Every structure is written in C-alpha cells, then in structure tokens.
Amino acid sequence: MTTIQLWENVPGKCEEVPVLEYYPAENKVSDATVVICPGGGYAGRAAHEGKGYAEYFNSIGMDAFVCEYRVSPHRFPLPLLDIRRSIRYVRAHAAEYGINPEKIAVMGSSAGGHLSALVSTYTAPIEFEDIDETDKLCPLPNATILCYPVIHKPDETRVSHGGSYYNLLGKDWTDFDPYSPDLLVSDTTPTAFIWHTSDDAGVNVINSYLYAKALREHGINHEMHIFPSGAHGLGLAPNAPHVAQWAGLMKNWLIDMGWL
C-alpha cells in the first residue's frame, strides 16, 4: 500500500492532511478501479470497509484506492472536497496506474455510502476547489457501489440516520435537501450497485430503496440486492454466508459492464 497526499497545501483551514491509499493488484486483469469511502457516521472510518474492501478488489485483479476523508469535527464541504479530489487525482494519474479514466467507481458503506452517493449526484461548486490543473477534471465517478448507505435527509419519515447528517453539517443545520442524494439524482447520475439487509437496525433499508427509486425515475440502470437479515456494518460479511454473496454479485455486475 502507498499513501498519497492529496494536496501539497491542504485547503479548508485544516491541519489534518487527507490522504488516498493505493492498493495495487498483484495479478491485475482490469483497467478499472474503485475509490473507497469507509463508513463511520462521519465520526470515524472503519478499516474493514476500507482496507478490507481494497484487498477484495485486489484479489479479483483490480487496483483500489481508499479515501481517508476528513470527518467530524470537520464539516461539509470538506468530506466531499476530499472524495472529489481523490477521483480527480486518480483520473489525472490514470495513465501512470494503467487505469481507464472512464472506469472509476466510487464505493461507500453507511455514511461512506452517503458520501459516495453525494459525489455521484452533487454537481454544484464547493469551496476550496479550482486551485490547480487536477481540479479542472471531472469529479463524477463512472459507477457507484453502495453498501447499506445513508441516503435520505432527516425529516418526519424517520428514515434518516440523523447522526451522520449532523456530523457532516452540524447539530443546528435545518436545510437538508441539498445533501440528500435521492433528491439530487439526475439523468447524468452514474449507474449503481446497491445492497442492504432488510432488518438493518443502524440504517433503515428504505434509504437504499429511495436511491434506487430515484435512479429508476431518471432511467439510470442499476442493480440492487436486499438480504432478509443481517446487522449493520457487515462489510464483506465473513460470518454471514448468505449476505456474503453480495461481493460475488458485485463482481458479476462489473463483468457485465466490461470492467473485469
């Protein structure tokens, strides 16, 4: 694994240096790659949803990157800035890594799923961008992989994982619509692979349904799998064989797209 500093001078008035971790596949068979956002409620970053996933992609012949984005007490737009910069960095250095710049997926679990869906749907300018040539590249991924994602905003439906939203935006925030990815899907949103468990007690499965519904309404092809039972935060689910099928299903999806 190689650690890459995303900026020489970190924007955002922050001493913490966000980095990208590069995991090259030993037996590389694909020119596609994935940039991974670990979950953690925007309060931390879970290693099994970062390094663990990267090692899985390496095992199937794909390079992978893990975005160690900034979390609370840092607020929006810094996490989005970090994942946008990560995608732009990979795109800028695609030839160096033997990657097709039009085969970059973003992947996230839980709050990392929110960030992955947000970078796939949020197209407005944000602070601290446009500082160099890398920032001129498109920050949108070409595909999105969502594992039990936080999606919908806090409202009367009580579907939201409010803690993730408040860690991202602050406890006094009230206007959540611009940060609810299901409300931001457009005709240019990338294709997606989504999975969840129906009895997830941490993040309501309806979050995944709402994102899939929005994709369908805009004619965006996608694949979704809902497993009947399983705790939140399972990752590759090594101790839940039925749920663990998701990784193989995702691999088949990548094959079907011509990425593997």
**pLDDT, position 16:** 74
User: What is the predicted pLDDT for the residue at 155?
Assistant: 86
Q: Determine the pLDDT at residue 17.
A: 79
Q: Which residues of the chain have pLDDT under 50?
A: none
- What local confidence, expressed as pLDDT, does residue 14 receive? 67
Tokens 């039925």 map to which residue? 242
Predicted pLDDT at 7? 86
At 39-74, the pLDDT tens digits run 999 999 999 999 999 999 999 999 999 999 999 999
Close Cβ partners of 65 (under 8 Å, ≥ 6 residues apart): 20, 21, 22, 23, 33, 34, 35, 36, 54, 86, 90
Instruction: Walk me through the domains of the chain, giving residue ranges and CATH numbers.
Output: 2-256 (3.40.50.1820)
pTM given for the model: 0.96
